[in-house]
């Protein structure tokens, strides 16, 4: 029963990721930018998650120096850098393509685990990685510009953004695993990640000697609505994901979390066909990568 509840939470997390991708796509298509989406998302994470964790786990948070440094690494790679690349990828190549490529994260995580933690790859691992490469190639070939025409889904070189996001997200679970093994509750780790990402952006603003344009954000209600919805979806994803981890083993949770590209394709087909072109190549690429991600995660 506990595993079933965990799987349900993981599916809800996957749906939340898909909803976030669609909302970011809508915001950027209405004149917004990916950087503002990241900022709004982080602010909502801070406002909603941090106070809740501070109250629930008070006064024992179980933080050690090793776990703190590990979650700092998770925050820098996933919550900060990965999210910037991911949202920029959505802006440039579309939600369905960016999320499909981002879903290769388990592959990069596995490769990192082999290199950093000394885990031995199996033949199935190698075959799954090759399948993911094939899926990325299918999607990237579908993104090429037609001769003499502007593409509504981006240029082929823009694929570097979602691929970079997948790499960054792939590093995150390695750091998180180290932190959790120290005995720090995962929700406390999420809070550290969020605080580190927020600090990173604050230092960036200090360095640039400028602050986010709050007045401009509030003035454009159309984009502000989509930014806020994306931030809420991102916050929900974190809550559902870590609730799933509490209820079921990771090998049950992660494969269902990686179903998000399927939901993005469905949502894109229903709501944003005018700005998202759903082709058979895209669907094929999504199916190939989801199957490969499930296989490689299940045998990890």
Give CA–CA dist 297/258, Å, rounded.
Answer: 10
Q: In Å, how far from its chain's centre is CA 175?
A: 16
Burial label for 35, CB within 10 Å (0-12, 13-18, 19+), is: middle
- Per-domain boundaries in the chain: 2-144+152-298
As a 3-state breakdown, the chain gives helix, strand, coil percent values, each rounded to 5, of 80, 0, 20
Residue 148 is predicted with a pLDDT of 42
Residue 85 is predicted with a pLDDT of 87
Above pLDDT 90, what percent of the chain? Answer: 10
Residue 44 is predicted with a pLDDT of 92
What are the CA-CA distances from residue 52 to residues 45, 47, 188, 213, 268 (Å)? 11, 9, 10, 28, 33
Give CA–CA dist 40/48, Å, rounded.
Answer: 12
What residue ranges of the chain have pLDDT lower than 50? 143-153
Predicted structure pTM score: 0.71
Burial label for 218, CB within 10 Å (0-12, 13-18, 19+), is: exposed
Residue 152 is predicted with a pLDDT of 44
C-alpha distance across the termini of the chain, in Å: 23
Give CA–CA dist 274/284, Å, rounded.
Answer: 21
């Amino acid at each position: 029963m506990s595993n079933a509840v965990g799987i349900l939470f993981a599916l809800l997390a996957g749906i939340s990721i898909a909803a976030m991708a669609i909302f970011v796509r809508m915001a950027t298509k209405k004149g917004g930018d990916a950087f503002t989406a990241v900022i709004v998302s982080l602010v909502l994470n801070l406002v909603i998650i941090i106070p809740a964790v501070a109250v629930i786990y008070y006064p024992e948070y179980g933080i050690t120096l090793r776990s703190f440094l590990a979650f700092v690494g998770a925050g820098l790679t996933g919550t900060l850098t990965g999210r910037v690349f991911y949202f920029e990828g959505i802006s440039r190549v579309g939600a369905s393509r960016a999320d499909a490529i981002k879903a290769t994260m388990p592959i990069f995580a596995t490769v990192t685990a082999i290199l950093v933690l000394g885990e031995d790859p199996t033949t199935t691992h190698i075959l799954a990685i090759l399948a993911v490469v094939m899926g990325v190639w299918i999607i990237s070939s579908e993104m090429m510009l037609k001769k003499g025409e502007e593409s509504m889904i981006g240029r082929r070189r823009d694929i570097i953004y979602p691929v970079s996001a997948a790499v960054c997200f792939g590093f995150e679970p390695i750091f998180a695993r180290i932190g959790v093994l120290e005995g720090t509750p995962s929700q406390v780790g999420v809070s550290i990640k969020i605080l580190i990402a927020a600090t990173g952006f604050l230092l960036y603003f200090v360095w640039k000697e400028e602050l986010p344009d709050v007045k401009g954000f509030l003035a454009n209600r159309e984009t502000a609505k989509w930014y806020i919805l994306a931030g809420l979806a991102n916050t929900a994803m974190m809550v559902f994901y870590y609730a799933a981890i509490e209820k079921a083993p990771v090998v049950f949770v992660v494969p269902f979390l990686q179903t998000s590209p399927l939901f993005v394709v469905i949502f894109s087909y229903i709501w944003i066909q005018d700005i998202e072109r759903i082709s058979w190549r895209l669907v094929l690429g999504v199916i190939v990568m989801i199957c490969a991600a499930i296989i490689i995660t299940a045998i990890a």
